[in-house]
Structure 1
Amino acid sequence: HHITSHHITSHLLSLFSSLLGGAVRLTTQETSALRPLEDTEDILNVTLQITLSQIIDMLIYQIILTAYLCIRWVWIDKYLTWNKDNYDGLDTIRVPASYVWRPDIVLYNNADNHFTSTMDTNVVISITKSSCKVDVSIFPFDAQQCRLTYGSWTYNGNQLDILNTMESADLADLVDSVEWEMLGMSAKKNIILYGCCADPYLDVTYTLKLKRRASFYVSNLLVPGVMISFLAPLGFYLPADSGEMLALAVFQLLVAEIMPPSENDGWRFHHKRPVPIIDMNIHICGHNTHTSGHGNLRACTCNRK
């Protein structure tokens, strides 16, 4: 038989009123505080699915990873069930997220200044900022591992169980980064016991493995650095009033600007810095003696060379 749009709308309104009539009368805070279970002693299973779309930036100075993530939570709400035969076969309905219970699962190592303890379900793709411990001791051939840990803000493992359906995040729609090569993003479920509490606490940790694309740094930093290192000792043979030593000093400043900050970074370049520093000091002393205008002063043998 022919079904008009008015007929469908009436069934939608009837279903909406039947499912959410009581919830709408509650405040948003009261609705979101009630787990959708018939028995409060049961564990609510929430499935986590993550799709990585793009690596936006890796801020070495602030140890922050910024990425585009599509985060999907799947759970069964016992209060949102109905017999579709009573509503003319209607088996799907879309309602505002504020009317239903939502899991309070957050990113534990969130580095966003506007962090909140609830997930925003009004968007599909969100920009996620997470803290990431970096190691640049072999820069620019370094590889990084950034962990994103998701868990409930208030519920323990006996109230809410987090499930990851896949052993890794979905990387099918990943946009390639010009600086980082994607090696993988594995997922692992963790069960943590604290001394203060008898109940376990669950989380799912995604480990993002990245490898730096070193071609830019090899051509613009490593190769010039090696060449300058071999040329630095030849600076002792330059005249005292020569300005070529300025190029060595400028290059050292450029290296310091490009090198990422770390307590163990850039050992390939740091151990070569004393040679141009000593060379410049000798030239400064020699040039000062050469231009001082004192006829009775005579430079030492090493400076005269």
Structure 2
Amino acid sequence: MGGKLKRRGEKEEGVSTVTENEIQINTVNLAKVEAKNRIETSEQRLLQFLMKNYEKSVRPVRNPSHTVTVKLGMTMTNIFEMDEKNQVLTINVWLDQEWKDELLQWDPSDFDGIESIRIPSHLIWLPDIVLYNKFVLMLNLLQFFSELFSIILILSNRLNDFILSYRSNIICHFLPNRTICIWYFSADDYSIGHVESRAMLFYDGSVFWPPPAQLRSTCKVDVTYFPFDRQHCALKFGSWSYHGIQLDIINRSENVDLSNYVISGEFDLVNVNQKRKVVKYNCCPELYPDVTFFIHIQRKTLYYLYNIILPCLMMSILTLLVFLLPPDSGEKIALGITVLLAFSVFVLTIAEKIPETSDSVPLIGIYLSMVMGMTSISVVMTVMVLNFHHRGPYCRTVPPWIRFSVLGKLRKILKMQLKHNANNNNDILSADENPTDFDLKCAIGKEFHFLNFFSFSLSTIEKLNLQRHRQDFIFLYQVQSHQIPEIMFILLGLSVTGYDGLDNQPFISESALLRRNVGEKHSENNCTVTSMPDEHIYRALRMLLKKRYLEECSQRVINEWQQVAQIIDRFLFWVFLICTIVISIILLIIVPVVHRLSNLDKFDDERYGI
């Protein structure tokens, strides 16, 4: 029994011994693996060598008197937006920067022949080159949180280093009426707006850093020739804190790189140039160099041609139709007012796109204002024409000077053929040749008195023996048949056709006899017929003649005024047509063409707003 326990103990001791040996072997193996993993690559050794005792807050020079020269260039990718309202140009570029860092040099033979390395840009010194005319965004509190939330949503799916590039400073001013937050980019954060990118470092200390960036710069917008305008914007880059002795900026290349440029749908890129300048500010005695990029863009007019200009031209044609619409339709003024309101809508649409400035008035605004003015004048002229057209006989007749100038000269110039020629009816309108000399206005005013008398005369005529006075009425028919209406024949129990059916011989003899007997008295008494057998019949006939004459004179006065209105309407149509064509050609064709053919390639500071 004791032997069995001894053997069991020996066996357990042997198991524990084997387990300890395995643990020791595994520990040795792990140590070897860790030692193997701790072997540094050449790039790691190089990065550790370069970053040892390196301070990125100071200029990378061994001698403080040395100047760091930064070569600045730009690769333009596209024009993102041109905000005319706020006068801001937004473009996407690659901002190429190259300089020499004396503290980042090594011998390639010491690091397995490595001549260049890509390292994060935040590990090394970067020139504080900023865009001087950078746009500062000011928002109220509600707009600020809305913009901030939208940016978070947009950037939530991007890389972390890209999100970090949008760090910004915020200052909120709490005013009595509202709170204004300024989202600004300070000079210390000169890399704000740049996508986080690595810098290329070479063994001789040369550093090349081409960060992609979206630049928002202020641009003085000239809307004089809108929408045929050309805009000149400038992007001025320079060091914010170093003067020219400490940090110098020069052009990296002669021209801006456009090999990766994507054509914009709103603007054509006419030209891009760059220029280096040295400026002395009042604050400091030193000189400050800068590099300015001049961007010359031209607006594409196809969108505005189909959405603004062509509708304006079509509404101008509608303005001309006001003068062709008949006055009796009652829609002349309504059409003019409708066109005027449509032009007002276009003016409001354009006002939302152009900046609120008093420096200049846009060309399209001048065109719309002139067309609106013509439309307003057309409404006034339409009121005058309608006044002429609906002027009745209660007003005086057409003055002689209007009859001479409008119905005479102007009608011949326009070659208008009128249905009623007033010049051929002067015998009717002349008072000296009328059967009785009376004032037209007085006769019109006594029209109801004539009608009452006429009704009394009819009752008298009905009681007469019409056959006994047949010969007397035949005489009146022979003397003044062209002025007696047909209704008189019907009232007397006769008809015009009845006279044609009478026996010619008795008719001729009776009429000849009456002419001979009564004609003498007619000549002696100046066409008076007081010797008529029945004075009542004569009075009734005279009243009918006067009424017919009154109606004819009134209708001819109305016709004459309507002819005046028709001629003036046609004359205004041609005048407005010529004015519309001339204004459209000058403002929409000649002025834009002359503007584009002029010399616009001069780079002056006043034009580019710097």
User: Which of residues 52, 55, 65 is equivalent to 2:79?
Assistant: 55
1:256 aligns with 2:348: yes
The residue type paired with residue 212 of structure 2 is I
1:81 aligns with 2:105: yes
Q: Distance in 2 between matches of 1:185 and 1:232?
A: 44
User: Which of residues 41, 65, 83 is equivalent to 1:41?
Assistant: 65
Contact 1:168–1:206 under 8 Å retained in 2: no
Which secondary structure does the structure 2 equivalent of 1:202 belong to?
strand
Which secondary structure does the structure 1 equivalent of 2:118 belong to?
coil
Provide the alpha-carbon RMSD of the alignment: 2.9
Contact 1:55–1:68 under 8 Å retained in 2: yes
Gap change, CA 1:249 and 1:9, over 3 Å in 2 = farther
The structural deviation recorded for 1:234 is 4.5
The residue type paired with residue 87 of structure 2 is I
User: Which of residues 98, 122, 130 is equivalent to 2:196?
Assistant: 122
Contact 2:274–2:294 under 8 Å retained in 1: yes
Normalising by structure 1, we get a TM-score of 0.81
Per-residue CA deviations over 1:78-108 (Å, capped at 9, x if unaligned) read 1110011111212222222222110000111
Contact 2:78–2:91 under 8 Å retained in 1: yes
Which secondary structure does the structure 1 equivalent of 2:125 belong to?
coil
The within-5 A match list for 1:225-304 is 225-232=312-319, 234-235=321-322, 239=330, 243-244=334-335, 245-258=337-350, 260-261=354-355, 262-263=357-358, 264=360, 265-266=362-363, 267-279=366-378
In the alignment, which residue of structure 1 is the partner of 2:93?
A: 69
In the alignment, which residue of structure 1 is the partner of 2:257?
A: 170
In the alignment, which residue of structure 2 is the partner of 1:190?
A: 277
In the alignment, which residue of structure 1 is the partner of 2:450?
A: none
The structure whose RCO (Cα within 8 Å, separation 6+) is larger is 1
In the alignment, which residue of structure 1 is the partner of 2:50?
A: 19
Contact 2:319–2:339 under 8 Å retained in 1: no
Which secondary structure does the structure 2 equivalent of 1:186 belong to?
strand
Q: Distance in 2 between matches of 1:115 and 1:8?
A: 44
In the alignment, which residue of structure 2 is the partner of 1:292?
A: none
Question: Which protein is bigger by CA-based radius of gyration?
Answer: 2
The structural deviation recorded for 1:228 is 2.8
The structural deviation recorded for 1:255 is 3.8
Per-residue CA deviations over 1:263-300 (Å, capped at 9, x if unaligned) read 3213232233223345567889xxxxxxxxxxxxxxxx
Gap change, CA 1:203 and 1:8, over 3 Å in 2 = farther
Normalising by structure 2, we get a TM-score of 0.42
Which secondary structure does the structure 1 equivalent of 2:309 belong to?
helix
Contact 1:106–1:153 under 8 Å retained in 2: yes
Structure 1: unaligned runs, 5 residues or longer: 24-30, 285-300
The structural deviation recorded for 1:110 is 0.6
Structure number with the higher strand fraction is 1
The structural deviation recorded for 1:205 is 0.5
Contact 2:220–2:233 under 8 Å retained in 1: yes
Q: Distance in 1 between matches of 2:311 and 2:319?
A: 12
In the alignment, which residue of structure 2 is the partner of 1:199?
A: 286
Contact 1:221–1:255 under 8 Å retained in 2: no
Gap change, CA 1:277 and 1:115, over 3 Å in 2 = farther
Gap change, CA 1:282 and 1:268, over 3 Å in 2 = closer
Q: How many aligned residue pairs are there? A: 279
Which secondary structure does the structure 2 equivalent of 1:176 belong to?
coil
Contact 1:64–1:130 under 8 Å retained in 2: yes
Runs of 4+ in 1 over 4 A off after TM superposition: 5-9, 240-243, 278-284
Which secondary structure does the structure 2 equivalent of 1:95 belong to?
strand
The within-5 A match list for 1:85-124 is 85-113=109-137, 114-117=184-187, 118-119=190-191, 120=194, 122-123=196-197, 124=211
The within-5 A match list for 1:137-148 is 137-148=224-235
The residue type paired with residue 161 of structure 1 is D
Which secondary structure does the structure 2 equivalent of 1:93 belong to?
strand
